[in-house]
Amino acid sequence: MADPVHRTLLASRAPNRNGFDLARNGVREIVLLTLGWQDLPKAVSVDGADPALRMREPVPGILLHVDGGWLLLDTGFNTGLMRDAAFRRRFYGDPIHRAILPGPGEPLEEALAHAGIELSEVHAVGLSHLHLDHAGGLRHFTGVPVHCQRRELEYGLTFEAERHAIYRVDFDDPKHDWRLADGQVEVAPGVTAVPTAGHTPGHQSFVVDLDDSVGGGGYVFAFDAADLSENIDDDISIGGRIDSTPEECVEQVRRLKAIAGERSYPLIPGHDPVVWPALTDELAGRFARTSGR
């Protein structure tokens, strides 16, 4: 259990709410965001794929309405680094991995505006890992709890990390309120981080339990433990790995499948260009908002 973190989140968001049964409080709404796209070789996502095959994959963000506010899982690209020519050469200059922004403005602001949610309503952030397409928007969130595995941040702060598209400029800000975990942890009511190292040294996936008031059930979000549905369906390792083997990465997907199977939850891959838009629409329908939250 993550009681200190859990209490802090509740205290910071819902100081006047008393007496509810924590065990019954789940997530009340899920909003999927597409914070950009990546044009890249399929072999990054699927180990051993034909090197000539390329894909265009969505960059995921997930908003979860938990007790007292919104929790955001992953934050997209750092547009500041993309728009300055010298930074762009250093951080986004790889012609093999092309980052594509969804619109002319700041992707997070545009996606949140589309969802009718203010940036200031995001009261905590969870990071699956620190790659450029997941931690790049963290600069918007100083002073709110940021949940990450300790191992991931330790690795991210090494010089070596930059060779693997983990850029400390994205997250090395003393104003971030880090909440570092050493294993599985409940980061908010109904949101559990599950370590799935392999893609990066401290990668984590998230189990989301929905509140009974919205029909219960839930989802397991693999993030980059499984980029595509074929990583899940065919037990094929992701291609992008740091200090791990394909077998270890497949084992993490099997663990996630077991967790999802126990709860009868779907296991959602992190970058699937078919699954992500379809689930975005499905959840928008399920949680169609009329007034207030």
Interface ranges with Zn ion (CB under 5 A): 131, 224
Contact 108, 138 (CB under 8 A): no
| Choice between 139 and 199, CB closer to Zn ion | 199
Pairing of strands 177-181, 145-149: parallel
Closest CA to 236 of 44, 10, 24: 44
Residues 6+ apart with CB under 8 A from 24: 211, 212
Q: Do residues 287 and 215 lie in contact, with contact meaning Cβ atoms separated by under 8 Å?
A: no
User: 40 or 124, CB closer to Zn ion?
Assistant: 40
Cβ–Cβ under 8 Å, residues 67 and 13: yes
Residue nearest to Zn ion (CB): 131
Taking the complex as a whole, the smallest distance from the CB of residue 167 to Zn ion amounts, in Å, to 12
Q: What is the smallest separation between the CB atom of 76 and Zn ion, expressed in angstroms?
A: 12
Residue 83 to residues 59, 69, 100: CA-CA distances in angstroms?
A: 18, 31, 12
Question: 192 or 196: whose CB is closer to Zn ion?
Answer: 196
Least spacing, CB of residue 68 vs Zn ion, in Å: 29
Give alpha helix (H) positions in the chain.
3-13, 42-45, 79-83, 85-92, 107-115, 132-135, 150-156, 229-233, 246-263, 275-286
Instruction: State the pairing for strand pair 185-188/267-269.
Output: unpaired
Give the nearest distance from C-beta 40 to Zn ion in angstroms: 11
Beta bridge partners of 65: 29, 70
Query: Of 131 and 176, which CB lies nearer to Zn ion in the complex structure?
Result: 131
Q: How far is the CB of 4 from Zn ion (least distance, A)?
A: 28
Looking at residue 225, its amino acid is A
Q: Order of strands across the sheet with 267-269?
A: 185-188, 191-195, 204-209, 218-223, 267-269
CB of 6 or CB of 199, closer to Zn ion = 199
Distance in angstroms (rounded) separating the CA atoms of residues 156 and 160? 8
Please report how close the Cβ of residue 282 comes to Zn ion at its closest, in angstroms: 24
Q: How far is the CB of 239 from Zn ion (least distance, A)?
A: 11
